[in-house]
Structure 1
Amino acid sequence: MNQSNALPALGWILAIACATPGLASAQTLRWASQGDPQTLDPHSQNELLTNSINGQVYETLVSRDRTLRLVPSLATGWQQLSPTLWRMTLRPGVKFHEGQPFSAEDVVFSVARAKDKTSNIRVYAAGLGEVRAVDPLTVEFSLAQFNPLFLEHATLVQIMSKGWCEEHDAASPQNFKSGETRYTTLHTNGTGPFVLVSRQPDVKTTFKRNPNWWGRFDGNVKQVEYTPIKSDSTRTAALLAGQLDLVLDPPPQDMDRLRESDGMKVVDGIENRILFIGMDQGRDELLYSSVKGANPFKDVRVRRALYHAVDIETLRTSVMRGQARPTGAMAPSPLGIFNDAQLEQRLPFDLARARALIAEAGYPQGFEVRLDCPNDRYINDARICVALAAMWSRIGVKVDVVTQPRAIFFAKGEKLDVSMYLLGWGGAITDADVTLSNVLRPRGDNGVGYYNWGNYKDARLDELAAASAVEQDPVKREVLIKAAFREHNEQVHNIPLHRQVIPWAMRENVDAIHRADNWLEWRWVTIR
């Protein structure tokens, strides 16, 4: 197993202390998690930490409140003129951080930019249709077909300044997977409540409150310091030592200690996110495997055998320390499958059945394969992969676990440079289409299936999912969605594991709103 070495806890604590002389003021939020934002370009990547930090600087037309309900943001109102035509009224008097006035042309530009082939959110931008400026504060969206998630998609495209992007040769998003760097990688110019002060990738990023923001601050935070700390023990030590105010992803093994420590508190919540194992089913020969001239993952019996060999209860109790809700559904939230208990059912843990299936498929002695995993993205991600490798060894499948930081991992996955991988999917939207269109459908135009890194092609699943994306009748749409998930489960294109339980650990004097999408909104934080 390949893992980066972590700095000693004391060294990290001293580094944070030196960066913040004395005790930070009550209006400075110092927080950490295990990874770093991949980029400051809001259209380049689609990853939660990246999106949430960019989302403090850049805003969307429609936003969410503390309970994830849709609320106005850069758009003050909207009207559906027909099933395929929407009109939005824009907020007057808004300015970007560098002083440019916000107008309809920025919306038109941003939606077009987010549709670029280098954008990882282009499937959402495509769902907004064609945009035109009616006047400086009015835009219309003309859709090729009905989109039941139009307003949801409007929460995902962050708005940029057209003039600023063009001035800095950034009219298209950073091509992350090719290793490209653009001005927008390290610089920002949004309309949001916080302004970027400095950016040191993998070290620290700082922000200050935007004094000219149009909205209302419900908290008292005026400065924010974000420090990525890869080591679990170091994050915990820094929090207990008072060098951090909040840790977004405290390690499961430290939770009892944190709950019992004076001056600390833990806020729990189930995240809308499913973790799963994907397998390359597109190539005729795997990139990283002992099997030559064939691809064992093309055989559903092999995929089913691997599923049966997963001891999900041991994973839940021993690896995740209870911070997991096992499921057989490839849906971040039960709401996405209409709380269907049958779709939630997993294939049972059955080693005898798994061994029989792997032998029937022609691999009685098993085979070797590489499993790529991030080591700083999900709760205990590297440990999950190591545990799964041990489980699969019991049916003869020898797994070489390769873990890497999220920036390397996602760049490899986007290039399909994987044979087997751990991935998570979720966010604020609980509707099934976000998973079906992005993860489960075959890769196609406008970003459809972009996160189908297994590159499988299931015509039946694609037909059902595509039909559900434009169906106006809610009852008929539910039937289509459930049928699509049943098709996926029957073919075992991915192996679902669990939904994450995310506790936030913080100093006792910190009040923060824990949303189900694991999004920390700084303007709601109060430090007493």
Structure 2
Amino acid sequence: MKNLTLASFGVALATATSLSAVPAAAEQLRVGLAALATSVDPHFHRAGYNFDLRENISDALVYTNGVNGTVEPRLAKSWEIQGDTKWVITLEPKAKFDDGNPLGADDVIYSICRVRNVPNSPGLFSSFIATIANIKDAGDGKIEIDTKKPDPNLLRSLSNIGIVQNPTGRTLAYDDKSCGNDNWLATGDFNSGKTSPGIGHYHVKKFTPDVEIELERNDQYYGTPAAYDSVLVKSLPDNSARIAALLGGSVDVINAVPINSIDSIQSSGKYHLSSMPSTLLIFLLPDQGQEKTPKVSGTDGKNPFLDPRVRKALNLAINREQIAETVMGGMAQPASQIIVDGVFGHNPDLQAYPYDPAEAKRLLAEAGYPNGFSLTLNAPSDRYVNGAQVAQAVTAMLSQVGLNVTLETFPFSIYFTKASAYEFSLYLAGAAADTGEGLSQMINLAGTRNPDRGWGGANRGRYSSEVTDKALEDAQSTLDDAKREELLRAAVAEVYKDDGYVPLYHEFGVWGVRNGVHYDANANLTNIFYTARPE
């Protein structure tokens, strides 16, 4: 493993409230990212780089620390639980929208209603609000949320929902469909700048998809202001271009540092690394939702991935240690399950998958494929650190057990739209623990895919198990931490037993930073600009 100083999951990230006093003005922060948000709309796509932008421009009710799961106030100044299912939340009275109007209960209700009503979303946020039965204005700057059953993670879930200004002129009556409204803010208007995405540390000055995003500091922000006057975020998907931009001085920070560039950054004397183990799981997911699957041949029309022996063969054909140490340069932890070690819900009883290509061949033959079959492995070309190289290594490993594998990649900007349309039979992707613990990650990845219910948003291979679903449902309403973790571990074990996923590794987050800039690493790989500051 590279000689890096990595923060452990037991140490919390520095937060805005712990910053030293910031100067009245500071130079522009220039950031180069491997990919950019696909929209300014805070509710459009539940995906990593969209979380990035939302966190900087559209505050949620609370912020969840990605390391330890603690909940910190944002637009919610305080809260209390009355009984098992009623939450009374006091809104921050200092929070105001761009036009000077103060945050109101109607804005919160509208925003949560809108989550289910975003046209053409490739990944809705619905699972975060699935347990809400009702929301109402409780008066005196408070809202009251009733849940269908006890939900210990309600606030952690709501930490992902940016609050936008209600344009209707009335307070919507909450329900789990349209809330009686048929005219929602348009995603295009957020992107063009016509509609503000909410109250945040920064405003969006200009959004150019796949090119750059210009942010300017919100000097009317109700909390600790950001240190930098402006942030210029550039799309630099090519590893070489990204590292050249940092070392050449055209950006101050880059994310997804290429593994082969770590030494050059460390030895330069002008730059340093900010790094942390992350909750991001990189995985393969086979199609388990239809009898005839695309991009597969030599199976007499059958979907081979419906056979658990074939899925087991995939898991045994992958040399995770080699991928982690060689392809990822030691900057990854081999994975046998969805939740990373150290995060609530990780199951310590599950053994690592052995690398056993002989047994993989035997299982394929037993399943009726002694000579293998042909398939296409799909992967994004520009989303994950060394993602394309990982996909190439996986292709070679699967070929060694007799499968005829073709690798096909697409840019991040269109990749997940295709995956959501079920155009892939075996694909590579990643997902993190958005709420600082494992329940939301499990519901997102292993819950039976159901957009109306908000489950399985990233489960585009449509793994489904009644046993897994029941354990997750029970965990959702269990307030006792020990019992809830036991249920989560049971769900994790069921996915493992089913070989529903092919987990590869949990990625480490590594940023390259110019000396003189403080930039916090983040366990969910989120790029938070408002905690950056000159040093």
TM-score normalised to structure 1 length: 0.89
1:249 CA displacement: 1.2
Q: How far 1:170 moved relative to its partner?
A: 9.6
Shift of 1:28: 0.5
**Counterparts of 2:280 and 2:264 in 1: how far apart (Å)?**
26
| 8 Å Cα contact 1:512-1:520 kept in structure 2 | no
Measured in 2, the distance between the counterparts of 1:328 and 1:401 equals 23
Take 2:332 and 2:211, find their aligned partners in 1: how far apart are those partners? Answer: 30
Instruction: Flag the 1:330–1:369 CA change in 2: closer, same or farther, 3 A.
Output: same
**Alpha-carbon distance between aligned partners in 2 of 1:216 and 1:297, rounded to the nearest angstrom:** 51
1:224 Cα deviation after fit: 0.3
Q: 1:189 to 1:306 in 2, by over 3 A?
A: closer
Q: Which residue of 1 aligns with 2:526?
A: 519
Which of 270, 276, 299 is 2:307 aligned to? 299
Identity between Structure 1 and Structure 2 (%): 27
CA RMSD of aligned residues (A): 2.1
Count of aligned pairs between the two proteins: 493
Distance 1:449 1:328, change over 3 A: same
The counterpart of 2:385, out of the listed 355, 370, 379, is 379
Check whether the contact 2:336–2:352 (CA below 8 A) recurs between aligned residues.
Answer: yes
Contact 2:66 2:434 in 1 (8 A): no
What whole-Å deviation, never above 9, does each CA across 1:246-286 have from its counterpart, x for those lacking one? 00111111111111112111112111111111010111111
Correspondence 1:267-286 to 2 at 5 A? 267-286=274-293
Structure 1 distance, partners of 2:236, 2:492, is 37
Judged with a 3 Å threshold, the aligned counterparts in structure 2 of structure 1 residues 336 and 206 are, in CA distance, closer, same or farther, namely: same
Query: 2:27 is matched with which residue?
Result: 27
Q: 1:430 aligns with which of 431, 436, 460?
A: 436
Contact 1:115 1:126 in 2 (8 A): no
2:152 corresponds to 1:145:
no
Q: Report the alpha carbon displacement of residue 164 of structure 1 after superposing the two structures with TM.
A: 8.0
1:182 maps to amino acid: G
1:500 pairs with 2:507 = yes
Structure 2: how far apart are the matches of 1:223 and 1:371?
41
Question: For 1:287-324, what per-residue CA distance to the aligned partner results, in whole angstroms no more than 9, with x for missing partners?
Answer: 11113421100111111111111011211122101110
> What are the ranges of 5 or more consecutive residues in structure 1 without an aligned counterpart?
1-24, 175-180
- Alignment check: 8 A CA contact 2:77 2:92 kept: yes
The corresponding residue for 1:77 is 78
Contact 2:38 2:210 in 1 (8 A): no
More deviation in 41-50 or 64-73?
Answer: 64-73
Which protein is richer in helix relative to its size?
1
Q: Could you tell me which amino acid in structure 1 is paired with residue 320 of structure 2?
A: I
Q: What corresponds to 2:366 in structure 1?
A: 360
Structure 1 residue 136: Cα displacement: 5.8
Say whether residues 1:154 and 2:155 are aligned partners.
Answer: no
CA contact (8 A) 2:509 2:521 kept: no
Matches of 1:162 and 1:333, distance apart in 2: 41
Which stretch of structure 1 is more off in the superposition, 491-500 or 185-194?
Answer: 185-194
Name the residue aligned to 1:201.
209
Give the Cα separation in 2 of the matches to 1:57 and 1:409. Answer: 25
Matched-pair contact (CA < 8 Å) for 2:201–2:218? yes
Q: CA deviation at 1:521?
A: 2.2
In the other structure, the counterpart of 1:19 is: none
Query: What is the distance in 1 between the residues matched to 2:241 and 2:456?
Result: 37
Deviation at 1:428, TM superposition (A): 4.4
CA contact (8 A) 1:116 1:122 kept: no
Q: Distance in 1 between matches of 2:168 and 2:262?
A: 45
Which residue type is aligned with residue 242 of structure 1?
Answer: G
Kept in 2, the 8 Å contact 1:277–1:496? The answer is yes
**Residues 285 and 294 in structure 1, CA contact (< 8 A), matched pair in contact too:** yes
The equivalences for 1:121-132 within 5 A come to 121-132=125-136
2:481 paired residue number: 474
CA distance in 2, matches of 1:515, 1:316: 20
Partner of 1:17: none
Between the aligned partners of 1:190 and 1:361, the Cα distance in structure 2 is: 54
2: distance between equivalents of 1:451 and 1:189? 24
Greater mean deviation of Cα atoms: 276-285 or 424-433: 424-433
Partner residue of 1:243 out of 240, 244, 250: 250
Q: Partner residue of 1:55?
A: 55
Q: CA deviation at 1:360?
A: 0.5
TM-superposed CA distance for 1:513, in Å, is 1.7
TM-score, normalised relative to structure 2: 0.88
The CA distance in 2 between the partners of 1:261 and 1:63, in whole Å, is 35
Q: Which amino acid aligns with 1:61?
A: L
What residue ranges of structure 2 are gaps of 5+ in the alignment?
1-24, 171-180
SS of residue in 1 equivalent to 2:237: coil
CA pair 108-455 structure 1, distance change in 2 beyond 3 A: same
> By how many angstroms is 1:332 displaced?
4.2
